[in-house]
Amino acid sequence: MRHPQLNANGELKHLLTIEGLPRATVQHILDTAESFVGVAEREVKKVPLLRGKSVFNLFFENSTRTRTTFEIAAKRLSADVLNLNINTSSASKGESLLDTVDNLAAMHADMFVVRHAASGAPFLIAEHLDRHHGPHVHVINAGDGRHAHPTQGLLDMYTIRHFKKDFTQLRVAIVGDVLHSRVARSDIHGLTTLGVPEVRVIGPLTLLPAGVEQMGVRVFTDMREGLKDVDVIIMLRLQNERMRGALLPSAQEYFKQYGLTREKLALAKPDAIVMHPGPMNRGVEIESQVADGPQSVILDQVTFGIAVRMAVMSILGAN
């Protein structure tokens, strides 16, 4: 599923997926984010880049954390923010997705942040807006089905760059429920775009997508083997709400095989960093001593996430 995310001048018009984005565009977002990381340290945490603009958070699927970070990011850019929890409003009255978008566009929305359970929904909205409302309305995909979560992928890239500097020397392992994870897909596209020579995915065969090797990754079903000498470990949440049928024997069994413990972490490089997109299931994917330990950068990811979302919004708002 492709969509022209760039305008005729090669500038970012929508952010729908990392897949297919030029390396220079990804680096521009990360560089821009760097300038926003310091804003949180200031007494007045605002810059006027989106003053007078309206950002609509359209969440057809719950996510307090992602919605909150987008809201904070937009407000720090001085935008007006409206949060719409659609599953309790117009959608339940039978209004179509695009009718909802048309009505909001008529209220002079400048940007839509969209999370939807259906893969491709943000693409559909972006296409519709381009056709009917012109190039000045922008769409950010905040997660669509199993497909993509580009701002999470970008904040993960920012976190890795912050701690490891050079992507071209790294081994990165993505561990767990890759099958249901849009974060894993966005991370794989981000890592390969930025020149990481070895991306590994580790998990039980029931939680790995068929043909995942075609994305340019090495597949391991044995976690101990897969973690050997890696620089970065990205743990994924077990997405119980998306699972149909019994893909796993039990949470305890999963933790034994694929949970990140201090003992398994010791197989990676001594200075390896541990990441998790959150929310974490402690004792299922990761033990608390690792989640709260010296190699964990999980809270840094949250902090950087606001700066990265500010960067994306400011770049779109300027185009």
Q: In what order do the strands lie in the sheet with 273-275?
A: 218-220, 198-202, 171-175, 232-235, 273-275
Q: Is 221 annotated as a binding residue?
A: no
CA dihedral 80, 32, 139, 78 (to 10 degrees): 0
Please state, as a whole number, how many other Cβ atoms lie within 10 Å of the Cβ of residue 178.
Answer: 25
Q: Is 169 annotated as a binding residue?
A: no
Q: Is 152 annotated as a binding residue?
A: yes
Q: Is 42 annotated as a binding residue?
A: no
CA dist 217 and 45 (Å) reads 40
User: Left if phi > 0, otherwise alpha if psi is -120 to 50, otherwise beta: which for 219?
Assistant: beta
CA dist 273 and 223 (Å) reads 16
Query: Between helices 182-193 and 150-164, what is the axis angle to 10°?
Result: 50
Q: Is 279 annotated as a binding residue?
A: yes
Q: Is 115 annotated as a binding residue?
A: yes
Please state, as a whole number, how many other Cβ atoms lie within 10 Å of the Cβ of residue 289.
Answer: 13
Q: Is 176 annotated as a binding residue?
A: no
CA dist 232 and 163 (Å) reads 10
Q: Which residues carry a binding-site annotation?
A: 65-66, 93, 115, 149, 152, 182, 237, 278-279
Q: Which residues carry a binding-site annotation for L-aspartate?
A: 93, 182, 237
Q: Which residues carry a binding-site annotation for carbamoyl phosphate?
A: 65-66, 115, 149, 152, 278-279
